[in-house]
Amino acid sequence: MTDFERKVYEAVKLIPEGFVATYGQIAELAGYPRAARAVGNALHRNPDEEHVFCHRVVNSNGDLAKSFGFGGRDEQRRRLIAEGVYVVNYKVDLSEYGINLNDFLK
């Protein structure tokens, strides 16, 4: 496992229940502001879905990933709903559930 991946997973763990973050935000939290793409790559190889909430990560449009790593979008959607996140056609309202980076950058 690389440092990059570790940081990404750590960042993902910071997302509070009932909220979601974009790949770009995760990239920033991880310390790689422009590595949104690499983030997706890392998440695909998610080591343990139990502790890393990859289902709380969506793209800048609020859409769920097409090729979710386990169980597909349906599983991702199921988990979000279970947390109280309203999901419509594999899409979430970022202005409602999106996180604010400033709340994580102390």
CA neighbor of 85 nearest in space, from 19, 37, 8, 23: 19
Taking the least distance from each CB to DNA, the nearer of 5 and 87 is 5
Given the rule CB under 7 A, which residues bind DNA? 2-5, 22-24, 32, 34-46, 54-55, 57, 59-61, 65-70
Query: Pick the catalytic residue: 54, 57, 65, 92?
Result: 54
Q: Shortest gap between Cβ of 3 and DNA (angstroms)?
A: 7
Residue 41 tokens read as: 């790559």
**Token pair 């695909």 in the structure block, residue:** 44
Q: Shortest gap between Cβ of 10 and DNA (angstroms)?
A: 13
Identity of the residue numbered 54: C
Residue 86 has what DSSP assignment?
-
Residue 22 near residue 57, CB atoms below 8 Å: yes
Instruction: Respond yes or no: is residue 40 known to be catalytic.
Output: no
Q: Shortest gap between Cβ of 25 and DNA (angstroms)?
A: 7
Question: Which amino acids are annotated catalytic?
Answer: 54
